[in-house]
Every structure is written in C-alpha cells, then in structure tokens.
C-alpha cells in the first residue's frame, strides 16, 4: 500500500474503470483511469487484430459446431448452424462496428473530423486499433466517459479470446437439415460442413451455400423450416 495524505472532506479520486475503483496514486493526479487499467486495455486493443484474423477464418466459423448423428427432420435436436457468434463478431455489426463507435465518440469529444471510411471489417480493424491505441492515454486522462469504453473493450476482447481459445478440433460437422424445397416439402437432407471449405452443398436437392451471407440465409431458412414443422405437428 502507498500512503495518501489524509484530507478531511475530500474524496480521494478513484479509477473510473468499472470493476477497478482503485484509488489513484499521487503520481496519477489528473488521470481518470489508473495506469494498470490503461496497460491492460492497451494490451487488449493490441491483441484484437490477431484475434479478429483467427475468427475471420473458416476454421473458427466451423469449430465447435457439434458433431452428432442427429439433426434429421422430425428429430427434437435443433439444427446446428455455422457458429453464429463468430459470424456476428466478424460481420458488419461486430468487432469493427463496436471499435468504430468508440472512435467516433472520442473524435467528437476531441472536436476532430469524423473517421474516414475504412472498408470491410477485416480492413478496418487494424486502423481502428491504431487510433484507439494512439489516443488511449488522452482518453484515460481526459475523457470522462472512458470507463464504459474500457469495459466495452474488455468484453469485446473476452468474446473474441474465448472463441479463439476453444480448440475443439475442426472436422466434418452436422449443421442441421437442408431447408431447400422439393415440391411442397422441405428437402430435410442432413447437411454437413468442413473446416477446410466455405462450401455447404446438399447432395439431395443440390442447394449450395458458400459465403457468410449465404450461411446466414441458410440459418434463417433452417429456423423457418423448423418453425413450420413444429406448427404442422401441433
Ligand atoms: Zn483502474
Ligand atoms: Zn437439400
């Protein structure tokens, strides 16, 4: 412990980072966030581009989809799609958008022009990370709302790191029944996908899904098919 001067009627300033609340040192006077919180946040920011690249790969998208013999239509087991939490993080509303929201807020307070368009999430993340890293010291010293951003960066890093750390071996996995239409009925063929390829192909009806957008459509169609089946059974 370090000594603080004892001052009556004076609340010694504490770190505004949620979950910290540490009293600031004399040497930290004028700061809003303690140095350990700043250091931890900078480390998280710095790790984000590499985590993002790992997530933005087919292996990460597929890993953890459950291998099982089930998933036929009529089974109570719901279809297991490509990993939606990974899709959400690498997609337009994911890591890039969440970093971008923080950059926009900081720029507004600094009175700077709004950030330029930085392309796809994969292209934007390194730029966003550089901006936040370069301006973190300012934010920790002068931006009163910085606590919520530090918490958001901790959560974002945690979500990415948890998925990357999940090292279940990739392989061919069941991803649920084919939602394609064959006449008046759903195709229902069990679909599989592999970590080695973006392509999902139904051998029965010839349906193909190859891009992230198409995988989302596949997932939506599976849910619709499942809902329709449940309705018909009720
Ligand atoms: Zn702190
Ligand atoms: Zn099919």
pLDDT tens-digit map of 111-142:
999 999 999 999 999 999 999 999 999 999 99
Ligand 2 center to 84 CA (angstroms): 21
Confidence of residue 86 (pLDDT cuts 50, 70, 90): confident
134 and 223 within one domain: no
CB-based contact 81:65 (threshold 8 Å):
yes
Residue 11 lies in a domain: no
Residue 113 is given by DSSP the state P
44 and 120 within one domain: yes
The number of distinct structural domains making up the chain is: 2
42 and 118 within one domain: yes
Here the tokens at position 83 are 């990993």
Residue 61 lies in a domain: no
180 and 151 within one domain: no
Residue 224 lies in a domain: yes
For residue 43, pLDDT beyond 90:
yes
Ligand 1 center to 13 CA (angstroms): 11
Residue 187 is given by DSSP the state -
Q: Which of 144, 165, 186 is the last residue of a domain?
A: 165
Task: Give the residue numbers spanning the domain of 184.
Answer: 68-80+172-233
Confidence of residue 172 (pLDDT cuts 50, 70, 90): low
- Looking at all shown ligands, the one closest to residue 176's CA atom is 2
CB-based contact 95:56 (threshold 8 Å):
no
Ligand 1 center to 132 CA (angstroms): 18
Which residues is 181 bridged to in the sheet? 186
Residue 182 lies in a domain: yes
For residue 6, pLDDT beyond 90:
no
Ligand 1 center to 89 CA (angstroms): 27
98 and 154 within one domain: yes
Ligand 1 center to 36 CA (angstroms): 6
151 and 45 within one domain: yes
Residue 153 lies in a domain: yes
pTM of this structure = 0.63
Ligand 1 center to 54 CA (angstroms): 29
The whole-angstrom separation of Cα 45 and Cα 128 is 9
Residue 10 lies in a domain: no
Ligand 1 center to 157 CA (angstroms): 17
CA Rg value for the chain: 24
Please state the φ and ψ torsions of residue 23, each to the nearest 5 degrees: -70, 135
Q: Which of 139, 165, 191 is the last residue of a domain?
A: 165
For residue 59, pLDDT beyond 80:
no
**% the chain with pLDDT above 90:** 43
Ligand 1 center to 217 CA (angstroms): 43
Q: Which of 165, 192, 214 is the last residue of a domain?
A: 165
Residue 14 lies in a domain: no
């Amino acid at each position: 412990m370090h000594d603080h001067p004892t001052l009556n009627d004076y609340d010694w300033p504490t770190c505004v980072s949620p979950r910290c609340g540490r009293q600031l040192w004399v040497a930290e006077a004028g700061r809003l966030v303690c140095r350990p919180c700043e250091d931890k946040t900078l480390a998280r920011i710095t790790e984000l581009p590499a985590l993002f690249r790992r997530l933005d790969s087919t292996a990460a998208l597929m890993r953890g989809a459950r291998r099982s013999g089930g998933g036929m239509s009529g089974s109570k087991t719901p279809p297991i799609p490509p990993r939606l939490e990974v899709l959400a993080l690498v997609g337009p509303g994911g890591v890039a958008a969440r970093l971008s929201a923080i950059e926009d807020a900081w720029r507004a307070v600094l009175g700077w022009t709004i950030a330029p368009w930085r392309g796809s999430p994969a292209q934007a993340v390194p730029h966003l990370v550089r901006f936040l890293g370069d301006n973190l010291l300012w934010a920790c010293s002068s931006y009163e709302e910085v606590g919520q951003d530090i918490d958001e960066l901790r959560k974002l890093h945690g979500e990415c790191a948890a998925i990357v750390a999940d090292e279940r071996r990739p392989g061919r996995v069941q991803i649920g029944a084919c939602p394609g239409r064959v006449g008046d009925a759903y195709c229902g063929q069990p679909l599989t996908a592999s970590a080695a390829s973006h392509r999902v192909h139904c051998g029965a009806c010839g349906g193909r899904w190859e891009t992230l957008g198409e995988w989302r459509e596949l997932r939506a169609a599976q849910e619709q098919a499942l809902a329709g089946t449940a309705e018909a059974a009720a």
